[in-house]
Amino acid sequence: MNSTTMKNLFDLPNPRPNHEQFDDLIPDHGVKIERIISTGQTTPKGEWYDQDHDEWVILIQGQATLEYEKGHTVSLQSGDHILIPAHQKHRVAHTSTDPPCIWLAVHGALTSK
């Protein structure tokens, strides 16, 4: 059996952390795949993620809202996925607590430059 290398996305820490938790699902060799657990946390108002790399993110569980600097917002439900190109400024305006948000994010050079 090689199942020691298998993990489950829904195995959450117990008790749940009070902070937002980031777990690398594979080591970062240029492409990072991470799980993010959010339980109500948001990006402070007026602060923006401004990333040097592209990010593709899918919300597997929960509900969340992304806000873009240009003014529009996007509400995400379970299964919704979206590509956030590098330097597209955004913030997390809402994350559900119950159920907690489980995000899967892929970071890297995902678009043509």
Query: Which spans of this chain sit near its own copies (rule: CB under 8 A)?
Result: 1-3, 5-11, 25-27, 29-31, 33, 56, 58, 60, 68, 72, 74, 76-83, 104, 106, 108-112
Nearer to its own copies among residue 3 and residue 14 (C-beta): 3
Give me the sign of the Cα torsion angle 53, 105, 101, 79: positive
One-character DSSP codes across 26-60: E--SS-EEEEEEESS--PPTT--B--SSEEEEEEE
Q: Give least dist CB 14 to its own copies, A.
A: 15
d(CA 7, CA 103): 15
- Using CA atoms of 49, 76, 13, 31 in order, give the dihedral in degrees to the nearest 10: -50
Nearer to its own copies among residue 80 and residue 93 (C-beta): 80
Q: Give least dist CB 89 to its own copies, A.
A: 13
Q: Give least dist CB 52 to its own copies, A.
A: 16
Nearer to its own copies among residue 20 and residue 67 (C-beta): 67
